[in-house]
Amino acid sequence: MSQDVNKILFYFVKAGLFGNKEPLTDDLLMRINWQHLYDVAKAQGVLAIVFDGIKRVMVERGDNSLGMPRSLKMRWLSVVDSIEKKNTSQRMAVEYIATACEKCDLHVMTFKGLSLARFYPEPLHRECGDIDLYALGGRHKDLNRLITDLGGTIIHSSAKHSEIKLRSVMIESHNYFVYRYLSKRAKTVNSRLVDCISSIEPYGEHNSLYYPNSEFDTLFVIYHAANHFKFEGISLRHIIDWCYIVQRAGCDLSQLTEYGLERFSAVLCRIGKHSLGFDLPEHLCRCDDKTYNRVLSDIIGSNVGKDDEKVSSFTVLRRKTVRFFSRHWAYSLVGDSFFGGVMNSVIAHIAEPMAIFRGNK
C-alpha cells in the first residue's frame, strides 16, 4: 500500500475517533481513491469509523461528496447501517439472555466485541463478530441449556466454547478463555483471567449481566490479539481496542512482562499513538523502527477480511498452511515459541480435525 493510502486511511480513522484536529489538505483530497479506501477500511474492520471521519470532513468543508461517487457513498451508508443493526441485535440478544439468567440465578459475563464497543465514541460503529459469553462459576453447560431453551441451536461445540445461533445472532458460550493444550503460558493466562473476574460487579440494570474489569481486559485483549497476530495477522480494529484498554488501565501494563507481551504491546501502542492519534505516554511506545515498520506493513497488508470469500476447502487449507509457516517471525515478538506453536496446532487439529477448514480464509 502506498504512503498516500496509509496517510488517508489514518487521517479518517483519527477524524472518526477524535474529530478533525487538522484539516484535510486539497492535495491529499485530490489523491483519494475512494473505492480503494473503502476496501482497505473494510479489511481493517474500521469501515464505520472511517465513514464517521469522512462525514466530519464533509461538514467541515461544506461538501457532501468530497468527490466520492454517489453509488459508493450509498453503498457505504448501507453497510454502516447494517453494522449498527447487527450491534443493536446483539445488544437486544444479550438483554434477553440476561433477563432469563436472572430467573435461574445464573450470572454471565459478555466480553470481547460487545464489551469493548462501550469504550468507542460511537459504540454501534465498533464492528463485532459473535457475542462472547462466559458463565461465572463454571456453569458453561447451564448457560448452553438456557440459550437452547430460549430457542437457540448449537451449531458447533469444542472444548473451548459452543457456537449457538439464537434467532439471527451467533453466540460463543465459553468454557474457558484461551486454548491451553501443551502451552504452560496459555494455562497460566486462563487461570489468571478466571481469577480476575472473581470480583467483578453487575453492569447496568441486570443483576445477572457482567462486563470484564480492567485487569481482565488488559491481559485478555493483548493475549487474544497476540494469538491472532502470530497465526494470521491482526487489523487496525485490534490496535484501537488495545489503545482504549491501555487508557482504561491508566497505562499500567506491568502484568504484561510476566507473559512476554510487553514488546508486542509497545508496537501496538506506537502505531496507536503515531498513526491513529491516541494520547499515550511515549514510554509505552518504545520499539525499534525495524519492528515497528514490519508490523505496520504486515497489518495493513494482511489477509484479514477474507471470511466472506467463497473458496474451496483446499484453498482454505493451502492458505492456512502457507500463512502458518511464513509467520514464524511473529512468535518471538509475542513472547512465544514457534516450535511450541507447531505442537499445539498439531494437537488442536487432532482434537478437532475439521477445524482446519474453518475460520479465517
The yes-or-no verdict on residue 306 having pLDDT over 70 is: no
User: pLDDT-based confidence at 202, cuts 50/70/90?
Assistant: confident
- The pLDDT of residue 193: 95
- The pLDDT of residue 140: 94
Q: Which long-range contacts (CB under 8 A, 24 or more apart) does 294-301 make?
A: 294/329, 295/267, 295/271, 295/333, 296/271, 298/233, 298/330, 299/44, 299/233, 299/234, 299/235, 299/236, 299/239, 299/271, 300/1, 300/6, 300/9, 300/40, 300/44, 300/236, 301/1
Average pLDDT, the chain: 88
Q: How far apart are CA 259 and CA 256, in angstroms?
A: 5
User: pLDDT-based confidence at 339, cuts 50/70/90?
Assistant: low
Q: How far apart are CA 46 and CA 299, in angstroms?
A: 13
Q: How far apart are CA 349 and CA 312, in angstroms?
A: 19
The yes-or-no verdict on residue 232 having pLDDT over 90 is: no
Q: How far apart are CA 256 and CA 268, in angstroms?
A: 13
The per-residue pLDDT for range 73-130, each reduced to its tens digit, is 999 999 999 999 999 999 999 999 999 999 999 999 999 999 999 999 999 999 998 9
- The pLDDT of residue 305: 45
Average pLDDT over residues 315-325: 67
Contacting residues for 1 by C-beta, under 8 A, at least 6 apart: 40, 300, 301
- The pLDDT of residue 148: 97
Q: How far apart are CA 103 and CA 314, in angstroms?
A: 47
Q: How far apart are CA 209 and CA 118, in angstroms?
A: 15
- Beta bridge partners of residue 306, listed in sequence order: none
The yes-or-no verdict on residue 345 having pLDDT over 90 is: no
Distance separating the N- and C-terminal Cα atoms of the chain? 21
- Beta bridge partners of residue 172, listed in sequence order: 132, 163
Closest CA to 236 of 324, 320, 321, 126: 126
- The pLDDT of residue 341: 64
Closest CA to 127 of 86, 177, 182, 78: 86
Q: How far apart are CA 260 and CA 42, in angstroms?
A: 31
The per-residue pLDDT for range 47-65, each reduced to its tens digit, is 999 999 999 999 999 988 8
In this prediction, what percent of the chain has a pLDDT beyond 70?
85
- The pLDDT of residue 323: 67
Is the pLDDT higher at 160 or at 5?
Answer: 160
Continuous H helices in the chain = 3-18, 26-30, 34-43, 47-61, 70-103, 113-116, 140-149, 184-196, 214-231, 236-248, 262-274, 289-300, 313-326, 328-333, 338-351
The C-alpha cell at 331 is 512468535
Task: Give just the sign of the alpha carbon dihedral 62, 35, 361, 339.
Answer: negative
Spatial contact of 196 and 219, defined as CB atoms under 8 Å apart: yes
- Report the chain's C-alpha Rg in angstroms: 21
- The pLDDT of residue 358: 56
User: pLDDT-based confidence at 361, cuts 50/70/90?
Assistant: very low
- The pLDDT of residue 35: 94
The per-residue pLDDT for range 31-40, each reduced to its tens digit, is 899 999 999 9
Model pTM score? 0.90
Average pLDDT over residues 171-188: 85
Spatial contact of 144 and 100, defined as CB atoms under 8 Å apart: no
